Structures are given as structure tokens and as C-alpha cells.
């Protein structure tokens, strides 16, 4: 299905009947990435799954470089258009950023929340990472200082690309690269204390992208929250052990 939200064509799917459940996927993923979850819940819930605007899935790219607030506003409008305010939400990784932002600003938009290997907490940097960052910045200063103006921008772009993350390099458009930088540079830790919804944090024991300490930070800041750790699972804990994940999610969403 397609819907137009503020000029952006959004791809989404709706399946099942019952209390609304919204699924929000991670960065670089799409509707199909959440398949184990919607396949489990579609017999007991009315499940809504959207493709976030970007280079994956079937939604348009954002019209300009977006940050988390813009993705959150689009999601809020989608919820209002479908009249599912008060829905439960399951969010993975980047979807967690959007959920944290929305839940901290609009208390009644969601009922129960499940944050799965969610992003949003500023990562702790190791000494090695700090040194690499310092060297990178020095390299940029040197390039700007010694190269003529007509060569500077080209060399800087290649230098930055060489030292960027795999997620950044995989993005083909400059607009989405700028979007990625805006997204990852926003620390949502201060927003956590404003979340009043009952929240379950489901984490892969071996998650390297959003390590377990991030879940612990979230639990310490979100008033009504708890953690379930999926053993031997990584950043995609709901894929690594979908049976356990779905059982835990179902129990939480149906508990009083």
C-alpha cells in the first residue's frame, strides 16, 4: 500500500485484526526485515508496518536531509491518519530512536513499547576510537591548509569517505549521507526520563552495534521499564531467536 505524507510517498502494510500494533524497522532495512514479528502477531493483532523514507524499501527518499525529529513527525502523522493513537509499538534499532523521540514528546501516542536493540544512547568511545577521531580531524585540517581551493573539496570528500563507517559508505545519495549524520549525532538520552509508557527492552546478549550497556542506561532512565536479554543473539535478536523473542513480546503486550 502507499500513502502520501507531506509530499513523500510512503510504503506500508496492514494485516490482521485486533488491537493496533505498529512495527518500526532499523536503519537500512524495510518492511520485510520485520517479517518474523508481523507473521507471529497478524493472527491476534492489527499490525501496521511502514518503510521509512530512504534508500531501502519502497518509500521515497526524504525531500531534504532529515533527522530523527522529521522521521518522528512522519510517523506521528501516519498514526493519526490511520487513527491508531494508543497503539502498541515494537521498534528495532533506528526505529527505537523514532519511538524514544515520540514517546518522550507525546505521552498518549503509544500504549506499551518494546525497544529491541534500540539506538539513541550516545556510544561510549574507547581510547582507540578517540585517537582515531583526533587523527582524522588533524588530517582534515592539514588537507584544508596545504591544498589549493580547486583540489581541496575533492580530496576532503575522498578522505572522509575512506574513514567513514560501512553504513555511511553504503548510502549512494549525498542527501541520505547527510541524513545519516544527523540521525546518529542526536543523543536521545535526556529524553528517556520523559517516557511514561510501560517499556520492555529486549536485547541481544552479543549486540555489538547497540551494546547491552545502552539497554541498561535506558532502564535506569525510563521509569516503568525492564530488560530481557536474548542469549547468544546479536543486534538482530528478533531474527537470531525469533521464537523466544516473539514469546517474550507477546507475554509483555498481553500482560496487565
Mean pLDDT over residues 112-138, rounded?
Answer: 76
Give the confidence band of 94 by pLDDT, cuts at 50, 70, 90: very high
pLDDT at 143: 67
* Domains of the chain and any CATH numbers: 2-122+187-254 (3.40.50.1820), 127-177 (no CATH)
The model's pLDDT over 232-254, given as tens digits with 9 standing for 90+, comes to 999 999 999 999 999 999 999 99
Q: What would the grid cell of residue 176 be?
A: 541520505
Least confident of 54-63, 148-157, 222-231: 148-157
Measured torsion, CA atoms of residues 107, 255, 21, 215, in degrees rounded to the nearest 10: 60
Residue 214: pLDDT band by 50, 70, 90 thresholds?
very high
Output the CA angle 45-95-189, nearest 5 degrees: 125
Span 5-12, average pLDDT: 94
Of the candidates 245, 232, 238, 242, the one whose C-alpha atom is nearest the C-alpha of residue 205 is 232
Amino acid at each position: 500500500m502507499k500513502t502520501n505524507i507531506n509530499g513523500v510517498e510512503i510504503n506500508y502494510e496492514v494485516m490482521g485484526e485486533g488491537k493496533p500494533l505498529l512495527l518500526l524497522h532499523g536503519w537500512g532495512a524495510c518492511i520485510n526485515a520485520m517479517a518474523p514479528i508481523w507473521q507471529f502477531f497478524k493472527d491476534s493483532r492489527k499490525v501496521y508496518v511502514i518503510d521509512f523514507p530512504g534508500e531501502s524499501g519502497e518509500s521515497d527518499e526524504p525531500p531534504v536531509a532529515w533527522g530523527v525529529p522529521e522521521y518522528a513527525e512522519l510517523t506521528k502523522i501516519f498514526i493519526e491518519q490511520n487513527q491508531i493513537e494508543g497503539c502498541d509499538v515494537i521498534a528495532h534499532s533506528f526505529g527505537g530512536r523514532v519511538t524514544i523521540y515520540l514517546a518522550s514528546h507525546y505521552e498518549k501516542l503509544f500504549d506499551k513499547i518494546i525497544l529491541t536493540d534500540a539506538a539513541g544512547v550516545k556510544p561510549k568511545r574507547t581510547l582507540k576510537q578517540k585517537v582515531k577521531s583526533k587523527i582524522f580531524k588533524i588530517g582534515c585540517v592539514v588537507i584544508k591548509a596545504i591544498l589549493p581551493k580547486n583540489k581541496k573539496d575533492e580530496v576532503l570528500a575522498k578522505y572522509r569517505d575512506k574513514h567513514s563507517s560501512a553504513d555511511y559508505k553504503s548510502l549512494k545519495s549525498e542527501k541520505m549521507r547527510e541524513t545519516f549524520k544527523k540521525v546518529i549525532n542526536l543523543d536521545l538520552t535526556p529524553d528517556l526520563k520523559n517516557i511514561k509508557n510501560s517499556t520492555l527492552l529486549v536485547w541481544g546478549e552479543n549486540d555489538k552495534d547497540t551494546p547491552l550497556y545502552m539497554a541498561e542506561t535506558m532502564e535506569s532512565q525510563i521509569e516503568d521499564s525492564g530488560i530481557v536479554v536474548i542469549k547468544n543473539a546479536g543486534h538482530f535478536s528478533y531474527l537470531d531467536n525469533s521464537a523466544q523473542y516473539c514469546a517474550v513480546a507477546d507475554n509483555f503486550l498481553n500482560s496487565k
